Amino acid sequence: MTASQAVDQNRFRSIIRRNIALPLGVGLVTMAVFVGLIAYLVSTMNWAEHSERVIGQANEMLRLAVDRESSMRGFLITGDESFLAPYEAGGPKFKTQIEALQELVSDNPPQVEKLKQIEAIQARWGRFAENMIDARRRNQDVQGPVAIGRGKIEFDETRREFGDFLDAELRLRQERSDATRRVTTTLVSVFLLFSLGVSGLLAWVGRRELMGLSATYDGVLRRQSEQTEILQEQVWLRSGQRLLAETVVGQTTPQLLGRAVLDFLAQYLDAAVSALYVRDRQHGTLRRIATYGFSRESEQGSARHFEDGETLIGQAAAARRTLVLRDVPDNYVQVVSATGRSAPKNLLIMPIVNDGEVNGVIELGFIRELTVRDQEFMELIGNALGDFVEAALYRERLQDALAETQQLNEELQVQQEELRVSNEGLEERGRALMESQTRLEAQQAELEQTNVQLEEYAQRLERQKSDLLRAQDDLAANAERLEQSSRYKSEFLANMSHELRTPLNSSLILAKLLQQNRTGNLSDEQVRYAETIHASNSDLLVLINDILDLSKVEAGQVTVELETVSIDATLQSLEEMFKPLAVAKHLQLHFERAPGTPDTFVTDGQRVAQILRNLLSNAVKFTERGEVALSIAPSQDNMLRIEVRDSGIGIAADKLEMIFEAFQQADGSTSRQYGGSGLGLSISREFSRLLGGRITVASEVGKGSVFTLWLPVDGEAALAGRQNAPTSVPAHAHAAAPVPAMNTVAPAEPPLVRPPSSFNQSAVITPANGLSLGDIPETAGGTITDDRDNRTRAGRLIVAVEDDLAFAEILRDLTHELDFDFVHASSAASGLALVRDMRPAAVLLDVGLPDRSGLTVLEWLKNDPLTRHIPIHIVSATDHADKALHLGAIGYTLKPTARSTMEAAIRRLEARLQQRLKRVLVIEDDGPMRESIRALLQSENTEIVAVATLAEALDYLAKFSFDCVVTDLALPDGTGYDLLERLAANTAHAALPVIVYTGRMLSDEEEHRLRRYSKSIIIKGAKSPERLLDEVTLFLHSVESSLAPEQQRMLRTVRQRDNAFEDRTILLAEDDVRNIFALSHVLEPLGAKLQIARNGREALEALENGPEVHLILMDIMMPEMDGLTAMGEIRRNPRFAHLPIIALTAKAMANDRTRCLEAGADDYVSKPIDVDKLVALCRVWLRQR
C-alpha cells in the first residue's frame, strides 16, 4: 500500500468522536426538554384534579341542600319527626363543606364571592325552615306560607348560584386543558423539527466522510481479492494437471485412455457431453474412440471418422487451433438424462498435438458458459494429452503385431493338419467308389421290379381316394344333420324350459303364500296340503334342472371355469350342508383328509361341488343306518382321490354299468322307494370327464358302496395335455370282495385323517334370506357335555351360544349352581336351531361366533313370533351394547368378565322369568290418545300406568320400577328430550327401554339425538298402533300366544309389511297372467305399489307417463318387444340409467345371465322364482335407491 493510499488515522478518530459526542449532546437536550414538559404536565394535572374536587364538592353541597329541603317538606306534610333526620344532619355538614370549598377556591375571588352568596341564601332559607317546622309542631297552619312560595325563592337562588359556580369552574378547567394542549403541541413540534434538522445534518456529514473511507477500503480489498483469485486459478490449473496424470496411469488401450480422460474432464470442468478422436495411422482419418454423455441416438446418428478439414473436428485438426462455439443450436447435440434432455450452450474443440503432429481431437460440450480459465486449462494439458494418446497408440500397435504373429502361427499348424487329413480321405474315397459301383449294378435290377409294383399300388390308392371322398361327403352330411338335430334339441329344451317353468313359477309362489298362512284362515291340514304342493313342485324343478344340465353336457355347451379351490372350504361347505340330513337319519357323517394332501387344487369349483353333492346325496339317501364318509388323499400321477363311502343297500354287479346311464337306477323299485330322477350320476360322470378326471365305483349288495372321484391337482395342465393325448378309463370296477370298513384304506394309499374343524368359509345367513330351519347348517365346531338329553328342571333351561369351550364350561357350572338346566351350542346355526326347538327360558349369546355374528341371531330370534319373548343376554369381547339393546336384548356383558358378574346377569334373567306382571309407563298429554294407547297395550299380564305430564312421570319412576316407557315428545311441563336425558343420567333407569311415540315429523338432527337414548321411534299414523304394539311386546318379552286375539292379528299385520317396500312403486313387466297374480300377492302385502306392463313397449310407456318407478322386474320372453330390447331402450334414456332392473327368465340356458346383464339388468333370477330370494334381492336394490 503506497503513502497516497494510507488512511488518515486522525481523521478517522475525529469522525468517531463527533459521531459519539453529538448524539449524546442531542440526547441530553432532548432529556431536558422532556423533563420540563413532564413537569408542566404534572402541574396541569394537579390543577385539573383541583377543579374536579371543587366540582364534586359543589355537587355534594347542592345534594345536601336538596335533601334538607325535601326532609323539611316531608315533615310539613306528614308531621313525622323521622323526616327531619336529613334536615338536622345536613345543616352542620353543609356549613363544614362550604368552608372547605372556600378554602379550595381561595385563589379565585369571584368563586369565593359566589360561595358567600350561597351561604347567605341558605342562612335565610334555614330561618324560614325553622319557623315552618316550629309552626308544624304547634299544629299551626303551614299550607298558606308554602302556597304563596315562601322558601322556594331562596332555594331557586341557591340552585342558580350553584349552577353559575359550577359553570365557572368547568370553564376554568377547559381553559387550562386548552392551554396545556397548545403548549405541549408547540413544544413537541419545535423539538421534532430541531431533532430532524440536527439528525439530517449529522447524517449528511457522516455519510460523506464514511463514503470516502469506504471507497478507500473497497479499493484495497478489491486488489487483494484479485491477487487471491489469480493464485487460486493457478493452483486449480496445476491440480488439474496432476489429477489428470494420476487418472491416465495404467490405461493400456486408447479406448480405456479416452474413457478415463473424458470422465476426468466431465468431473473437473463440468462438461455435459464429450468425445475423443485419435489419428488412424492406416487411413489417416480421425477415429472416435470414446464418448461421454452421448445418448444412443446421438452416438448412432453421428459419424465416427473424419478427414482433415471435414466438419469442425477435421477443421480443428487441419488448422491446429482451438475452436469455441457459443449458443449452439438445439438440434446440434443432446444432453440426455432420465428426467429430460437439452442442448449444450457452448462447445470447445481442441486438437491434440505431439511432436508437432496432430494425433487427436477432443470435443467438449457445456450447459454453462465457457470461461477463460477452462480454455487455459485445456491449452495447458494439450501437450500432455498428446503424449498420453501417442503412448496408448504405440501400445495398441505393439499388441496388434503380437496378436497377428500368434494368428499366423496357428494358421500354419491348421494347414499342416488339413493336408494330412486330406490325403487319408482321398485314399478312403477310392476304395468307396469301387464298392459303390458294385451296389449300383444290383440296385438297378431291383428298381425295375419295384416300378412295376408301384404302378399297381398307385391304381389301388386312386380307388381308395375315391371311396374316402364319398365317405367324407357322407360324414359331412351326417355331421350337419347331427348339428341341426342338436340345435333343434337345444331350442326344444329351452322352449320347454320356458313352458314348464312359467306355470311352475306361479304354482311355487302361490303354494308358498298358502303355506305361510298370513291371514290365519287355513287349517293345519290345509297348510300341510300347501307344503306338499310346494315340495312336489320343487322336486319337479330339480328334475328340469338335471335334464338341462345333461343336455348342455351332451351338446358341448358346458364350459370349464378353472380356479384355485380350497379343499378345507369345500369340505366345510359339504359338512354344513349334509350334517342336518345325517342327524335327521341318525347316521354318522365323517370327512377325512390324508396327510400330504395339498391345501388347494386347480379345477372348476362349482362342478366339483355339484359332483360331490350328488355322491353324498345318494350315499345319505340309500343308507338307513351306519355311516357315510368322504375321504380325500393324494394319488399317483399328480391326481387327487376323493372317496364317498356308505354302508347302505349297495349295488348289484350287473347294475354297475346301468347306474351311470341317464334316467337309470339299480332297479325300478329304487326310484319308487327312494325317489330321484336317475340323472345325478350321469351328470357327475360327464362333469368329471370335462375336468380331466373319472369316477369309479365298487359295491356289494347289502354292504355299501364306494364311489371314487379322480381329479388332477393341476386341472389346467391336465386339460391341455388331454387335447394331445386323450385317454379313456372305465366308468366302474367290479368288487371282488366285500367293501372294507370305513376307517381302513388300501395299503397302497396313505392313511386318512380327519381335517381340522375350524374352517373359515361359511355362508352368511340373515333373516332376510327367508331360510327355513332345515336350511340352516350345523357348524363343525366343538361342544361340551350338557343337559340336552338329561333335563331335570322343568321350565328352567338356559341355552348358551358360545364358541369358547372353556367359558362355556364355566357357564354350565354356574347355571347348575343356580338350579338351571344348561344346553350348549358352539355356532350361530346350531344355537338358532336349539332355541327354536327347545324354547328355553333364557339365552346367553356370544357376538363373535365362527359362522356369523350373534347380533344376526338376536335379530332373527326377535323377528320370530315363536322366540321373540325369550330373554336374551349378550356376552361378547367387543362393545355392541347399544345395537344389542335396540334389537331387544335384556342385558349386555363385556368380556373378560368376573364370575360374579355372570352370576348377577343370570339372576336378573331369573327375576325376569319370575316376574309375571309387566308394567308400562305411558306419557301422553292428549286424554283420548292416552286412553287409546292404554287400551291398545292392556293385557292380562301387563299393567299400564298412564300420565299426562313430565312431573307425574318422574314421580312414578322414582317410586316404582317399569319394564318399558312410551312417551310423546310434546308435554305440558317439558319435552320428551328432558325425560330421556334424565333417564340416561340415572343409572337405575339407564337401560330402561323407551319408545318415542310422536305425531310430528322429525328432522335428521332430531332423530339422531333421539337415537342416543330411545330404543324405537314411531311416527303416529295409520299403521302406527300395530308398530307400537309390536315394539312394546318385544321389550316386554311377552309370549305372543298369550295376547288377545285382536292383538295377535295386529302383530301379524304389521310383520307382513316391510319398510324397504313401503310406498315404493315396482314395475312388473310380465305377459303371463298367472305370474302377475302370484307376484302381486307376494309384493303388495309387503307395502309395495305394483304397476303392470304386458310387454316391453308397455313398460317403456309406463316409465314415461306413469308415476315414479323405484324398481323394475323384467320378464325376458314377451310379445311385441322382449325384455332384452326393453332393457336396452331403458338404459339409453339418461333418466333411467341407474334405475334397478331385475331380469326374470324361464329359459335358464348357459348364456342367459350374460345376455341379461349386457342388456342392462342389474340382477338376474331364473324361473321358477324363489320367492324369498326375489324379496331379498328387491329389498337390497330398493334400499340402495
DSSP SS3 for 714: strand
- 550 or 417: which carries more pLDDT confidence? 417
| Confidence (pLDDT) at 141 | 67
| Residue-level length of the chain | 1185
pLDDT band per the 50, 70, 90 thresholds, residue 59: confident
| Confidence (pLDDT) at 558 | 64
Do residue 983 and residue 886 come from a single domain?
A: no
**Closest Cα to residue 390, out of 248, 265, 292?**
248
89 has pLDDT over 80: no
Rounded Cα distance between 344 and 324, Å, is 13
User: Considering 325, 352, 370, which residue would you say is the last residue of a domain?
Assistant: 370
Residue-number span of the structural domain to which 120 is assigned? 9-213
pLDDT band per the 50, 70, 90 thresholds, residue 728: very low
* Domain contains 646: yes
- Cβ neighbors of 711 (< 8 A, separation 6 or more) are 601, 603, 608, 639, 640, 642, 688, 691, 692, 693
Grid coordinates of 654? 350287473
Instruction: Go through 668-701 and write b for each residue having 16 or more CB atoms within 10 A of its CB, e for each that does not.
Output: eebeeeeebbbbbbbbbbbbbbbbbbbbbbbbbe
* Domain contains 1092: yes
DSSP result, 109-142 = HHHHHHHHHHHHHHHHHHHHHHHHHHHHHTT---
| Confidence (pLDDT) at 893 | 86
1003 has pLDDT over 80: no
Rounded Cα distance between 843 and 870, Å, is 7
| Confidence (pLDDT) at 777 | 38
**Closest Cα to residue 1034, out of 918, 1181, 1175, 1162?**
918
User: Considering 703, 724, 745, which residue would you say is the last residue of a domain?
Assistant: 724
| Confidence (pLDDT) at 264 | 87
**Mean pLDDT, all residues of the chain:** 76
Q: Are 1096 and 1069 within 8 A, CB to CB?
A: yes
Rounded Cα distance between 473 and 612, Å, is 44
Rounded Cα distance between 620 and 577, Å, is 12
Do residue 852 and residue 1001 come from a single domain?
A: no
Rounded Cα distance between 559 and 691, Å, is 10
CATH code of residue 648? 3.30.565.10
Rounded Cα distance between 826 and 16, Å, is 99
Rounded Cα distance between 254 and 313, Å, is 18
pLDDT band per the 50, 70, 90 thresholds, residue 748: very low
Helix, strand, coil tally for the chain in percent (to 5): 60, 15, 25
Element (H, E) at 611: helix 605-621
pLDDT band per the 50, 70, 90 thresholds, residue 727: very low
**Closest Cα to residue 60, out of 105, 85, 97?**
97
Say which DSSP state 792 is in. Answer: -
Do residue 40 and residue 187 come from a single domain?
A: yes
Q: Are 665 and 677 within 8 A, CB to CB?
A: no
- 489 or 575: which carries more pLDDT confidence? 575
Say which DSSP state 311 is in. Answer: H
DSSP SS3 for 970: strand
User: Considering 1028, 1055, 1082, which residue would you say is the last residue of a domain?
Assistant: 1055
- 806 or 749: which carries more pLDDT confidence? 806
36 has pLDDT over 80: no
Cis peptide bond upstream of 1168, omega within 30: yes
CA of residue 126 relative to chain centroid, distance: 96
Rounded Cα distance between 1125 and 1131, Å, is 10
Rounded Cα distance between 1153 and 1148, Å, is 8
* Domain contains 377: no
| Confidence (pLDDT) at 1076 | 84
- 875 or 546: which carries more pLDDT confidence? 875
| Confidence (pLDDT) at 1140 | 92
| Confidence (pLDDT) at 1126 | 93
pLDDT band per the 50, 70, 90 thresholds, residue 483: low
**Closest Cα to residue 271, out of 170, 370, 406, 177?**
370
The pairing of strands 305-306 and 286-292 is antiparallel
pLDDT band per the 50, 70, 90 thresholds, residue 978: confident
CA dihedral angle for residue 534, residue 535, residue 537, residue 538, rounded to 10 degrees: 110
| Confidence (pLDDT) at 754 | 31
- Helices marked H in 358-371: none
Q: What is the pLDDT of residues 1032-1080, one digit of tens each?
A: 666 665 544 455 555 555 555 555 555 667 778 999 998 887 788 778 8
Rounded Cα distance between 563 and 278, Å, is 65
Q: CA 994, 1000, 1001: angle at the middle one, nearest 5? A: 95
| Confidence (pLDDT) at 997 | 74
| Confidence (pLDDT) at 710 | 92
554 has pLDDT over 70: no
Q: Are 936 and 912 within 8 A, CB to CB?
A: no
| Confidence (pLDDT) at 767 | 33
CATH code of residue 1036? 3.40.50.2300
- Cβ neighbors of 481 (< 8 A, separation 6 or more) are none
- Cβ neighbors of 979 (< 8 A, separation 6 or more) are 923, 950, 953, 954, 965, 967, 971, 994
| Confidence (pLDDT) at 768 | 33
Do residue 607 and residue 691 come from a single domain?
A: yes
- 109 or 597: which carries more pLDDT confidence? 597
Q: Tell me what the mean pLDDT of segment 471-487 comes to.
A: 72
Instruction: Go through 191-211 and write b for each residue having 16 or more CB atoms within 10 A of its CB, e for each that does not.
Output: eeeeeeeeeeeeeeeeeebee
* Domain contains 440: no
Do residue 291 and residue 150 come from a single domain?
A: no
- Cβ neighbors of 377 (< 8 A, separation 6 or more) are 236, 237, 240, 268, 269
633 has pLDDT over 60: yes
933 has pLDDT over 70: yes
| Confidence (pLDDT) at 734 | 35
Q: Which residue has the cell 476304395?
A: 431
- Reported for 137-142, long-range contacts at CB under 8 A and 24+ positions apart, including other chains, are 142/76
| Confidence (pLDDT) at 779 | 39
Q: Tell me what the mean pLDDT of segment 479-497 comes to.
A: 64
Do residue 1091 and residue 1043 come from a single domain?
A: no
| Confidence (pLDDT) at 732 | 38
pLDDT band per the 50, 70, 90 thresholds, residue 149: low
CATH code of residue 331? 3.30.450.40
* Domain contains 679: yes
Q: What is the pLDDT of residues 249-284, one digit of tens each?
A: 777 788 888 888 888 888 888 888 888 889 887 777
Rounded Cα distance between 693 and 707, Å, is 13
| Confidence (pLDDT) at 770 | 35
Q: Which amino acid is at 803?
A: D
124-138, 815-829, 863-877 — which one is most confidently predicted on average? 815-829
Q: Which residue has the cell 298358502?
A: 514
Q: What is the number of alpha carbons within 13 Å of residue 152 lying toward its C-beta? A: 6
Q: Phi and psi at residue 754, in whole multiples of 5°?
A: -75, 135
Q: What is the number of alpha carbons within 13 Å of residue 25 lying toward its C-beta? A: 9
Do residue 905 and residue 920 come from a single domain?
A: no
Q: Are 718 and 683 within 8 A, CB to CB?
A: no
Do residue 896 and residue 929 come from a single domain?
A: no
| Confidence (pLDDT) at 730 | 37
Do residue 896 and residue 935 come from a single domain?
A: no
Q: Which amino acid is at 854?
A: G
pLDDT band per the 50, 70, 90 thresholds, residue 171: confident
| Confidence (pLDDT) at 145 | 66
Do residue 996 and residue 895 come from a single domain?
A: no
Element (H, E) at 460: helix 372-516
Q: Which residue has the cell 315533615?
A: 75
Element (H, E) at 166: helix 152-248
Q: Are 54 and 169 within 8 A, CB to CB?
A: yes
403-412, 464-473, 1035-1044, 1153-1162 — which one is most confidently predicted on average? 1153-1162
Domains in the chain, number: 6
State percent of the chain over pLDDT 70.
Answer: 78
Q: Tell me what the mean pLDDT of segment 577-594 comes to.
A: 86
pLDDT band per the 50, 70, 90 thresholds, residue 735: very low
DSSP SS3 for 628: strand
pLDDT band per the 50, 70, 90 thresholds, residue 142: low
Element (H, E) at 1113: strand 1111-1115
DSSP SS3 for 213: helix
Q: Are 829 and 765 within 8 A, CB to CB?
A: yes
Q: Tell me what the mean pLDDT of segment 809-825 comes to.
A: 90
Q: What is the pLDDT of residues 680-721, one digit of tens each?
A: 777 788 888 888 898 998 888 888 899 999 999 887 777 776
| Confidence (pLDDT) at 640 | 92
Say which DSSP state 824 is in. Answer: E
* Domain contains 454: no
Q: Tell me what the mean pLDDT of segment 844-849 comes to.
A: 88
Q: What is the pLDDT of residues 1100-1124, one digit of tens each?
A: 999 998 888 999 999 988 888 999 9
Rounded Cα distance between 567 and 574, Å, is 11
- Cβ neighbors of 461 (< 8 A, separation 6 or more) are none
952 has pLDDT over 70: yes
Element (H, E) at 37: helix 9-78
pLDDT band per the 50, 70, 90 thresholds, residue 855: confident
Do residue 60 and residue 112 come from a single domain?
A: yes
Do residue 598 and residue 715 come from a single domain?
A: yes
Q: Are 798 and 824 within 8 A, CB to CB?
A: no
* Domain contains 960: yes
911 has pLDDT over 50: yes
Q: Tell me what the mean pLDDT of segment 937-957 comes to.
A: 82
Pick from 202-211, 503-512, 522-531, 824-833: least confident: 503-512
- Per the DSSP assignment, residues forming a β-bridge with 846 are 875
Element (H, E) at 602: strand 600-603
| Confidence (pLDDT) at 752 | 32
Q: Tell me what the mean pLDDT of segment 483-510 comes to.
A: 63
pTM value?
0.32
| Confidence (pLDDT) at 1017 | 58
* Domain contains 501: no
| Strand locations in 903-988 (E) | 918-923, 942-947, 964-967, 970-971, 974-975
| Confidence (pLDDT) at 1050 | 54
